[in-house]
Amino acid sequence: MDIDFATGFLWFASFLLSTTVHEAMHALTAWRLGDPTAYNGGQVTLSPAPHVAREPVGMLLVPLLTSLTQGWAIGWASCPYDPRWAERYPRRAAVMAAAGPAGNFLIAVVAFFVIRSGLAFGWFVAPETVSLDSIVELATQGPSYMTTLLSVLIVQNVFLGTFNLLPLPPLDGSAVLMGLLPERHALAMRNFSTSGMMGMVGLLVAWQIFPMATDPLFSLVLRLLYPASSYY
């Protein structure tokens, strides 16, 4: 398989930015809601350095390797929090969990409006064929690093935000669900999800389920960008 290293690096750069925003949103929300753990760890920041320092393999090594060898980025990150705070304030913990995916959707919305504005002003055009890293082109010269990055940012963040909202441990959606359940059900789910084995099982199940959602999500992005097109 031929790999475009420039495009791969843009996937990595997008992943690094998107994951940094995701974790910073967790940290900021927890701090504002009474848990200073991540704030004290220096993670209420848009600098990737403290987030990479916490998860160097998941935020640097694996996404860089997959970006440059597979043409897309995969990885992971984490944000510290006080489990006693989460158990005492389950609703606050649910808001904190939801803040990470919300950061991803915010990036996607910004990229969406940049693309829509470029289309409206005639700077961008729809490509003849689309892919995950090519959903818009420059009107004057076709694909560019800028339009590739915008394409990757919107697609990657829609995928990241949606994936993390799956209600399976250790994903954010599991904590969101616990905050919505009655107390005794939430406690049972918390005891179930804190097991390392259950976290591994949850990830395996999520990786089996999520591919079924990628095509519909990509079609949704295209439908919103190009309501009159025949891409979908």
pLDDT at position 15: 97
Here the contacts of 224-229 (C-beta below 8 Å, separation 24 or greater) are 224/112, 225/112, 225/115, 225/116, 225/119, 225/126, 225/135, 225/136, 226/126, 229/126
Q: How far apart are the first and last CA of the chain?
A: 26
Domain boundaries, the chain: 5-225
What are the start-end ranges of the E strands in 169-221? Answer: none
| CA 155 – CA 145 distance, rounded (Å) | 15
> What is the crossing angle of helices 90-120 and 172-180, to 10°?
120
pLDDT at 197: 61
CA distance 90 to 93: 5
What tens-digit pLDDT sequence spans the chain (232 residues)?
445 889 999 999 999 999 999 999 999 999 999 999 999 999 999 999 999 999 999 999 999 999 999 888 999 999 999 989 988 888 899 999 999 999 999 999 999 999 999 999 999 999 999 999 999 999 998 889 999 999 999 999 999 999 999 988 889 998 888 877 766 666 666 666 665 566 676 677 788 889 899 999 999 999 999 998 776 6
Q: How far apart are CA 29 and CA 114, in angstroms?
A: 27
